[in-house]
Amino acid sequence: MCNYCAFKETLVLLVTFVAGDMANKLITEIGLPKSIGHIFAARNIITAKDALSLTEFELMELLDVGLEQVKFAVALISEVTSPPYQTVQSLLEQRVQNEYLMGHLPTHLKGLDAALCGGLPFGALTELVGPSGIGKTQFCLKISLLAALPSCYGGLDGHVIYIDVESKFSSRRLIEIGINSFPEIFCLEGMAKEMAGRITVLRPGSLTEFTESLQKVKVSVLQHQVKLLIIDSMAALVSGEYEQGPQRQHPLGWHISFIKSLAEFSRIPVLMTNQVRSRVANQISQYVFQAESRELMVEDNTEKFDSRLVAALGIHWAHAVNVRLVLESRSGQRFIKVAKSPMSPPLAFPFQVTSMGIVLLNDDGVEMEGSQINAIDHQGHSDIIYHGDER
Amino acid sequence: MEVLRLPLSASQKGKLISAGYTSMASLSSISPSHLALELKIPQTEALEILKSVSNGSKLESTSSSHTIVNGAQSAWEMLQEEETLVHITTSCADLDNILGGGISCKEVTEIGGVPGIGKTQLGVQLVVNVQIPYDYGGVGGKAIYIDTEGSFMVERALQIAEACSADMAEYSRLYRKGSQARESKMMHPKDFLENIFYFRVCSYTEQIALVNYLDKFITEHKDVKAVIIDSITFHFRQDFDDMALRTRVLGGMALNLMKLARKFGLAVVILNQVTTKYADGSFRLALALGDSWSHASTNRIILHWNGNQRYAYIDKSPSLRSASAPYSVTLEGIRNSASNNKRVKNT
């Protein structure tokens, strides 16, 4: 696909996104025959969403027209409202041509970057989950710098929006990581100011404020050269004990959808941190058919681990994120695990927090299996948030 | 309006139109007593009207079968058809075995599981495998991938396509000698990717619209033999306050998908998420979207962990026996699980 076509397509996508997704397309703009168009309006069916939320039979009743007419109208509305398609080959070519490393933000952790095919994926949600004090914010600080760095140093040369819910952002620590990791850049005159100037920190005090700030973020992302969005942490937004009752809709459901669309249309990586909570005692993760055929079940190994921690925010959240990185500690050694990724095997890498931020001790990683992949360990971990050099 | 073409009196036609019956289709499934009530005419007259409608539509019937109900098929005919049913391989022999050859075309198969178990992996494997040519035992079709969550990674599709291409080259080298080795259909990874139509859906409205539009799209791209929806759940889990509406909308979508599968003889695979349900005094895992949705698919497969091994379990199928098969996710895609099959690391 030629450059112009790719550009045109991106523009179309951007315009569509800014205008609001196709659900809100007005019936009047779809080009239905006048007679039926008027009937839709008369019955208060204004947008495509209104029309498509009803079955053909309901529409027939509501509009008082025959089935053929309803079918024709629905087919036309559907065709116009449907998203466009692309062949995967053209998607690939687009990425290779237009995007840095085919759409990845390197973390400078060699083993992790290799496992993630280059780094944090653009247009997708990456979750960082682990017990408090393990190094999530350290990771976020480092990656903000990496996105801000000029391209000649391997960065994205862009702005970063850092939504700091728990007031954990430390500018001093950010500069320290910068000076220690990239001394040749930071010793340059005004570099520290320039880099730090590219990172915008938002501090919403409540879920409502967060929702409002998301709208502002969307505008900013499209207008400025924002290359990374960090939310530290998602779990803190849902105050109090969130019980995942089966009927209740997830309180962050809308936000997750919104952030996903934002990430996709602007093709930026989004990094979100999550907390852990203890596992409820009677929470057996089995299907009905598994419970019935107990003889076939292998003994669940998680009981043997000293792990009673699970990621907060529930299973709906776990489905929604594209990449899940688990930070944990076992026998005093910290690990960063790729627990969920569409393109990587489940590898665990030992790491340390140093003056340069997070550093891997081993780039090969150990492959996890079964319940080890998602278990979150918290053994032998001293709850030191940050205390200078930890060697 | 079709009703005008019927051999009826002007007043009868007038009554039909003012009551809203303008087409043959609208009269095809109505009872005489109901019609009589609507038009305020005696039942015998209503019966006459309906007879003339069915006479009209019978002339259009192209079925040469002797079925007693227009538009239906006899069980024998269906059996003949089933013998020729094609399957799409999953690249895991054990899984193919319990599925009777693979994912069957002409049916809707639902695949559900916890995050990270391999649903998207299986989806991508299928959109690649559907393209395997006839000569290699495949279906030779194109594929549609409907992504509602953004889990589709182009790099991963490329990896799986490369592995499939390599497998085909290996097969060709080993089994096709002499004239057959003319490389009649050498498929490169690029060819695979060229035949996958990718749609990104951002709301449930778009999802419904797209499923409606697929009829027209596939009519224009008759080679499509697989439609994967990853996942069907995502947009329906949060935007809905009205659960009854959700059930109706999902029901409509399910019917559309089944129609699509039958009409074009393609495999519709819907990936579903998992939720927790409180039953028998404890929390159990279940596929999302509720009990009413569980009727939507013809076959249902649940992917789950058992110890350190991934398994696929046939939870529901009209013709397959309930069985479990182990599988693994490797660099090449979905493959058989073998204890000595050490995964090649991605370095």
What string of pLDDT tens digits covers the 347 residues of chain B? 677 777 777 777 788 888 878 777 777 777 788 888 888 888 878 887 787 777 655 544 444 455 677 777 788 887 777 767 789 999 999 999 999 889 998 899 999 998 888 999 999 999 999 999 888 888 889 999 999 988 898 989 999 999 999 998 888 888 766 555 555 567 889 999 999 999 999 888 899 999 999 999 999 998 999 999 998 988 887 767 788 888 888 888 999 999 999 999 899 999 999 888 777 777 788 888 887 888 888 899 999 988 888 999 999 898 888 999 999 998 889 999 875 344 433 33
Question: What residue has token string 């050694």?
Answer: A333
Reading the block at residue B134, the tokens are 């006839």
Nearest CA distance, A82 vs chain B (angstrom): 5
A322 with B151: Cβ contact below 8 A: yes
CB B322 within 8 A of CB B315: yes
Run of H or E residues at B192:
helix B189-194
Q: Given CA atoms B182, B188, B194, B200 in this order, what sign does their dihedral have?
A: positive
- Cα separation, B257 vs B270, in Å, equals 10
CB A107 within 8 A of CB A144: no
Q: Is the pLDDT of residue A304 over 60?
A: no
Give per-residue pLDDT as tens, A328-356.
988 889 999 999 888 888 899 999 999 88
* pLDDT-derived band at A65, boundaries 50, 70, 90: confident
A301 with B206: Cβ contact below 8 A: no
Nearest CA distance, A319 vs chain B (angstrom): 5
Give per-residue pLDDT as tens, A218-263.
988 888 789 999 998 888 888 654 554 444 567 788 888 889 888 9
Nearest CA distance, B282 vs chain A (angstrom): 6
Q: Count the neighbouring beta carbons within 10 Å of the beta carbon of residue B128.
A: 30
In whole numbers, what is the pLDDT of chain A averaged over residues? Answer: 81
Reading the block at residue A220, the tokens are 């900013």
- Cα separation, B278 vs B289, in Å, equals 15
Q: Is the pLDDT of residue A301 over 60?
A: no
pLDDT the model gives residue A18: 44
| Neighbour-count burial of B44, counting CB atoms closer than 10 A to its CB (0-12 exposed, 13-18 middle, 19+ buried) | exposed
Q: Considering CB atoms only, which of A53, A78, A318 is closest to B212?
A: A78
CB A229 within 8 A of CB A161: yes
pLDDT the model gives residue A385: 36
Lowest-pLDDT range of A91-95, A192-196, A280-284: A280-284
Q: In terms of pTM, does the model score above 0.95? A: no
pLDDT the model gives residue A4: 57
B-contacting residues of A 97-156, CB under 8 Å? 102-103, 114-115, 117, 121, 123-125
| Count of CA atoms in the C-beta half-sphere (13 A) of A159 | 12
Residues in chain A within 8 Å Cβ distance of B113: none
Q: Is the pLDDT of residue A145 over 50?
A: yes
Reading the block at residue B325, the tokens are 């098969």
Give per-residue pLDDT as tens, A9-28.
555 544 444 444 677 788 87
Residues in chain A within 8 Å Cβ distance of B196: 87-89
pLDDT the model gives residue B270: 95
B250, B306, B274: which is closest to B108 by C-alpha? B250
B-contacting residues of A 312-341, CB under 8 Å? 315-316, 318-322, 324, 339-340
| Count of CA atoms in the C-beta half-sphere (13 A) of B148 | 24
Q: Is the pLDDT of residue A151 over 60?
A: yes
- Cα separation, A80 vs A31, in Å, equals 9
B206 with A83: Cβ contact below 8 A: yes
B115 with A82: Cβ contact below 8 A: no
Q: Is A293 on the interface with B (CB under 8 A)?
A: no
CB A314 within 8 A of CB A244: yes
- Cα separation, A242 vs A310, in Å, equals 14
Residues in chain B within 8 Å Cβ distance of A257: 202-203, 235, 238-239
* Best residue in B154, B231, B283 for a mutation probing chain A (most A CBs within 10 Å): B154
* Residue A65 amino acid letter: V
A167, A232, A228: which is closest to A198 by C-alpha? A228
Reading the block at residue B257, the tokens are 């998908």
